[in-house]
């Protein structure tokens, strides 16, 4: 008689039931185990979440303390080292941060930005550029990356590229002034004062008080006035220079004010400005030369010598001072003194030409 198939069927279902029980048992074992592992990792990483929170709040000093405490018990932890380095960057400890990033590398946007910041502040322009390029790939309108890449490009002699990134920064809402400022600085460094003035004017239109710039308002209006003077607009320059002087009394502003007033025929006011400059620096050659020039325009050689004599013996005397001494002694008819200062003027002019030529060669070599 054939054997019944029922036992086989029963064994089949029994086998399936056994496999199901084994799977359920595995799940019951593995799931709690995974949860325990995750909980353990979370518990261990809890202090690092606190470090990140403090960094986000801008409390870098406390963040660094917490990171250091964690690393004392878990040396070599990559996440903790990254947070430690980010805190060091926030505290301006560029060298220490850079050494850590060089050891562990960077992955996240925050890490890339922190290392790039450290490298820029250490003036390691070539090393910072690839990191900044990665940041701009992630976000082409990252203001910090645009600011830093502009700085790197300019320092590496890539003026055209620097102007491009500065212009991109100026097109980002809220960063117009920053972009214009960088553009103005680059144009100024290239000797293009007209384009520099255009940027200064745009900044003034956006911020009439010139606050919130990398330089103070007094310095901003000082360079604005200087560039207007170089751009052959002395009257406009005088307005900015006086504004600078109102904000903060400075020798540089007084010297330029005296120069502009003399150029525009306001000799009495020019003399007053240069006299005030001498109150700040009694041996200032530019102020004394200016006052001597005014005296010689009146053919008053004695008054010219009164201003020039205190600086004439200086080893650092300029050819301008020497020539003014020459003119004064011409009016006085002092032949020996005249001959002495003629020779001195010629020698100083030759020396100044050689120095200027040497500086040009050094700039080209760089």
Q: Please write the tens of the pLDDT for every residue from 29-88.
A: 555 555 544 444 444 556 788 888 998 888 999 999 999 999 999 999 999 999 999 999
From residue 308, give the alpha-carbon distance in Å to each of 63, 259, 324, 328. 60, 17, 8, 10
Q: Tell me the domain boundaries of the chain.
A: 43-107, 293-366
How many other CB atoms are there within 10 angstroms of residue 266's CB atom? 16
Residues 147-180: tens digit of each pLDDT: 999 999 999 999 999 999 999 999 999 999 999 9
Q: Which of 327, 278, 338 is nearest to 301 (CA)?
A: 327
Q: Which of 83, 77, 78 is nearest to 97 (CA)?
A: 83
Q: Which of 185, 130, 144 is nearest to 162 (CA)?
A: 185
d(CA 225, CA 244): 9
> Phi first, then psi: what are they for 49, rounded to 5°?
-65, -35
Q: Pseudo-torsion of CA 208, 190, 172, 210, nearest 10°?
A: -20
d(CA 4, CA 26): 35
Collapsing DSSP to helix, strand or coil, 314 comes out as coil
Is there a contact between 240 and 214 (Cβ–Cβ < 8 Å)? no
The H-or-E segment that residue 96 falls in is helix 94-104
d(CA 200, CA 187): 11
* Residue entry with tokens 């007094």: 218
Q: Which residues of 134-145 are buried (b: 16+ CB within 10 A; e: fewer)?
A: ebbeeeeebebb
The pLDDT value recorded for residue 16 is: 55
Q: Which residues contact 171 (CB under 8 A, 6 or more apart)?
A: 179
Q: Which of 149, 154, 121, 124 is nearest to 134 (CA)?
A: 149
CATH of domain 43-107: 1.25.40
Is there a contact between 226 and 250 (Cβ–Cβ < 8 Å)? no
d(CA 303, CA 298): 10
The pLDDT value recorded for residue 311 is: 96
Q: What is the pLDDT along the chain (366 residues), one digit of tens a residue?
A: 444 444 444 444 445 555 566 555 555 455 555 554 444 444 455 678 888 899 888 899 999 999 999 999 999 999 999 999 999 999 999 999 999 999 999 999 999 999 999 999 999 999 999 999 999 999 999 999 999 999 999 999 999 999 999 999 999 999 999 999 999 999 999 999 999 999 999 999 999 999 999 999 999 999 999 999 999 999 999 999 999 999 999 999 999 999 999 999 999 999 999 999 999 999 999 999 999 999 999 999 999 999 999 999 999 999 999 999 999 999 999 999 999 999 999 999 999 999 888 877 766 655
Rg over alpha carbons for the chain, rounded to the nearest Å, is 36
């Amino acid at each position: 008689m054939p054997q019944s198939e029922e036992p086989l069927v029963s064994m089949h279902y029994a086998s399936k039931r056994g496999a199901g029980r084994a799977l359920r048992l595995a799940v019951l074992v593995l799931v709690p185990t995974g949860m325990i592992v995750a909980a353990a990792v979370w518990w261990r990483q809890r202090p690092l979440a606190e470090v990140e929170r403090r960094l986000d709040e801008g409390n870098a000093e406390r963040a660094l303390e917490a990171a250091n405490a964690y690393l004392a018990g878990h040396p070599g932890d990559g996440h903790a080292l990254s947070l430690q380095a980010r805190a060091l960057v926030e505290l301006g400890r560029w060298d220490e941060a850079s050494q850590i990033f060089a050891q562990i590398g960077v992955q996240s946007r925050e890490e890339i930005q922190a290392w790039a910041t450290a490298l820029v502040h250490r003036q390691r322009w070539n090393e910072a550029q690839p990191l900044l390029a990665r940041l701009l790939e992630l976000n082409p309108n990252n203001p910090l990356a645009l600011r830093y890449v502009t700085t790197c490009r300019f320092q590496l002699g890539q003026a055209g590229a620097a102007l491009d990134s500065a212009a991109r920064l100026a097109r980002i809402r809220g960063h117009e002034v920053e972009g214009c400022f960088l553009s103005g600085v680059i144009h100024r460094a290239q000797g293009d004062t007209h384009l520099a003035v255009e940027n200064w004017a745009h900044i003034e239109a956006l911020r009439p008080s010139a606050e919130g710039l990398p330089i103070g308002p007094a310095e901003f209006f000082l360079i604005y006035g200087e560039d207007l003077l170089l751009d052959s607009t002395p009257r406009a320059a005088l307005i900015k220079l006086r504004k600078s002087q109102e904000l903060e009394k400075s020798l540089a502003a007084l010297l330029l004010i005296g120069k502009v007033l003399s150029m525009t025929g306001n000799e009495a006011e020019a003399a007053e400005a240069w006299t005030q400059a001498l109150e700040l620096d009694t041996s200032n050659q530019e102020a004394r030369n200016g006052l001597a020039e005014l005296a010689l325009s009146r053919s008053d050689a004695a008054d010219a010598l009164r201003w020039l004599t205190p600086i004439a013996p200086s080893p650092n005397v300029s050819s301008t001072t020497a020539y003014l001494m020459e003119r004064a002694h011409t009016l006085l008819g002092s032949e020996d003194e005249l001959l002495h200062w003629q020779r001195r003027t010629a020698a100083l002019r030759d020396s100044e030409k050689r120095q200027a030529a040497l500086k040009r060669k050094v700039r080209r070599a760089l």
